[in-house]
Amino acid sequence: MSDSPQTPSFAALDRVGFPSFDPGTVWLVGAGPGAPGLLTLLGYHALTRADAVIYDALVGTEILQWVPQGALLEYAGKRGGKPSAHQSDISTRLVDLARAGKRVLRLKGGDPFMFGRGGEECQTLAAAGVPFRIVPGITAGIGGVGYTGIPVTHRDTNHSVLFLTGHDSSGTVPAGVDWAAVATAAPVLVMYMAVKNLPAIAEKLMDGGRTPDDAVAVVSHATLPEQSVVDSTLGAVGELAAAGALTTPAIVVVGPTVSLRADVGRYVEQMGIGDVG
Ligand code: SAH
């Protein structure tokens, strides 16, 4: 078996009973947080068979090497200040390509159903009668954060964890979030897309009962060579964000498991898995 990028064989995978990727169907595949090894085997299987791949901004570029030569490769994300493609346009494109008889692979960063609009695309596909499959991925807020030595749960500290997004479709702090309730709902909060609004979010969490010395870690470019971690506190992190000191994309983790990185992260680093900052 060769693992050369030019000739991805993974031949033994062909003997695994993977579902067949049929023409005229759409597979929504989670690419994981970035490092190519974090794509699932089913995702890899599908990627090497796709006729059309529509991918998002946070998909690790190395993963795209497995798209077959001659396959249609389309970018559907936001980059370089340009506005992102409209969600309805992307969903319509998936339907059109499937109806043209393609094996359509919709490749999304992390997991398609974690703040990934996978649900919206599935609704459109379902309404159009296009068969589709979900291939889950490793989400940045669990696996990406875990790469730095921060577990999102630990029996000594938390029996629950809360995932939230720090901005809504208009880019502002989501009005639909009850911040006072969130502040105390779970010891550990994992926040996606939260850097821009972090000054306001940190204030709301403290207003809701979190203390200023709550540990915070900001994990940027998780699992990629440029991965970095900034350690802070709820009282101080808003200022760091406002000063532009935090790199995106980033996950912001609040709560006691952040401090475990001091023990766990050291060994992660020794194993050479990643730069733990
Ligand atoms: N579906 C994705 C999340 C998409 S929302 C998932 O499951 O991971 C985009 C947000 O995800 C980014 O703003 C950032 O908060 C987070 N994110 C994605 N990839 C990341 C990475 N490699 N490192 C840190 N944060 C990441």
Sign of CA dihedral 85, 88, 91, 97: negative
Q: What is the pLDDT of residues 65-115, one digit of tens each?
A: 999 999 999 999 765 555 567 888 899 999 999 999 999 999 999 999 999
Q: What is the pLDDT of residues 32-70, one digit of tens each?
A: 999 999 999 999 999 999 999 999 999 988 999 999 999
CA distance 243 to 19: 49
- The architecture of the domain spanning 18-138 is 3-Layer(aba) Sandwich (3.40)
Written out in words, the top-level CATH class of the domain with range 141-270 is alpha beta
CA distance 249 to 106: 20
Does the C-beta of 115 come closer than 6 Å to ligand 1?
yes
CA of 250 to the centre of ligand 1 (A): 7
Does the C-beta of 221 come closer than 6 Å to ligand 1?
yes
Q: What is the pLDDT of residues 218-276, one digit of tens each?
A: 999 999 999 999 999 999 999 999 999 999 999 999 999 999 998 877 777 655 555 44
- The 26-30 sheet, strands edge to edge: 72-75, 52-55, 104-108, 26-30, 132-135
CA angle 217/219/222 to nearest 5° reads 155
State which H helix or E strand residue 54 sits in: strand 52-55
Facing residues of 110 across strands? 32
The pTM assigned to this predicted structure is 0.92
CA distance 110 to 126: 22
Is 215 a residue whose pLDDT tops 80?
yes
Active site residue 56: yes
Residue tagged 């370089």 (tokens): 80
Query: For atom 13 of ligand 1, which residue has the closest CA?
Result: 193
CA of 95 to the centre of ligand 1 (A): 26
Nearest to 190 by CA among 266, 252, 98: 252
Domain extent listing, the chain: 18-138, 141-270
